[in-house]
């Protein structure tokens, strides 16, 4: 599993068989996404009313589970010894009334 801390930097080239996919998230604590192995998460933003993650993927690779955690501002952030969180983005909904912080959870 490749984590989102290996984000592409300006000038990096993508291989020809890669493309960008969108995944729609629910504002729930933890959810599982099936993504091709080695996918690189680019960002998380609102698209109309949906919270979405975009990632560069190789559709020919086998799919693996990636764990996404969504934490609202002022909610508890529970520290777990065997889990590493990698920040993806902050998303505001309803004119900023709801603010979500999106992380990928990786088991150590």
95 phi, psi to nearest 5 deg: 65, 25
Tokens of 31: 């959810």
Q: Answer yes or no: is pLDDT of 4 > 50.
A: no
DSSP letters of 6-44? Answer: S---TT----TT-EEEEEEE-SSSEEEEEEETT-EEEEE
49-55 average pLDDT score: 96
Task: Report which of residues 44 and 5 the model is more confident about.
Answer: 44
Q: Answer yes or no: is pLDDT of 61 > 70.
A: yes
For position 71, what pLDDT does the model report?
Answer: 94
Average pLDDT across the chain, whole number: 88
pLDDT tens sequence across 16-44: 789 999 999 988 899 999 999 999 999 99
- In three-state secondary structure terms, 3 is coil
Closest-CA residue to 76 (of 108, 98, 101): 101
64 phi, psi to nearest 5 deg: -130, 160
Domain locations in the chain?
19-107
């Amino acid at each position: 599993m490749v984590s989102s801390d290996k984000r592409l930097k300006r000038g990096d080239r993508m291989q020809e068989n890669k493309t960008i996919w969108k995944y729609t998230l629910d504002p729930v604590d933890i959810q599982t996404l099936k993504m091709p192995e080695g996918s690189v998460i680019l960002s998380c933003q609102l698209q109309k009313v949906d919270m979405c993650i975009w990632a560069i993927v190789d559709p020919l690779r086998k799919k693996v589970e990636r764990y996404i955690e969504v934490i609202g501002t002022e909610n508890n952030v529970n520290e777990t010894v065997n889990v590493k969180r990698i920040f993806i983005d902050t998303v505001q909904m309803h004119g900023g009334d709801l603010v979500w912080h999106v992380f990928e959870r990786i088991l150590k």
